[in-house]
Amino acid sequence: MFLRLIDQMAAREGITEQLKAQDQLLWVQQMNNIRDLVMEVVNNDLIYI
């Protein structure tokens, strides 16, 4: 669930391998933001309910 949501959100936000090749720092920042958001969603769905 976690990895699937990360992949879906990255695709929706337009975070691609091309961006990774062009601007690695921006790619890492955006992927970290997505990872944190997905972690909140997963925790909310699996733990807090």
Domains in the chain: boundaries: 2-46
Q: What is the pLDDT of residue 12?
A: 97
pLDDT tens profile 18-37: 999 999 999 999 999 999 99
pLDDT confidence tier of residue 47, bands split at 50, 70 and 90 = confident
Residue 49 clears pLDDT 80, i.e. is over it: no
Q: What is the pLDDT of residue 30?
A: 98
Question: What predicted TM-score, i.e. pTM, was given to this entire model?
Answer: 0.86
Query: In the chain, what is the greatest distance between 2 CA atoms, to the nearest angstrom?
Result: 40
How far apart CA 29 and CA 14 sit, in angstroms, is 13
How far apart CA 2 and CA 43 sit, in angstroms, is 10
Mean pLDDT to the nearest integer, 6-21? 96
Please name which of 39, 32, 37, 38 lies closest in space to residue 15, comparing C-alpha atoms: 32
Helix (H) or strand (E) run with residue 17 in it: helix 17-22
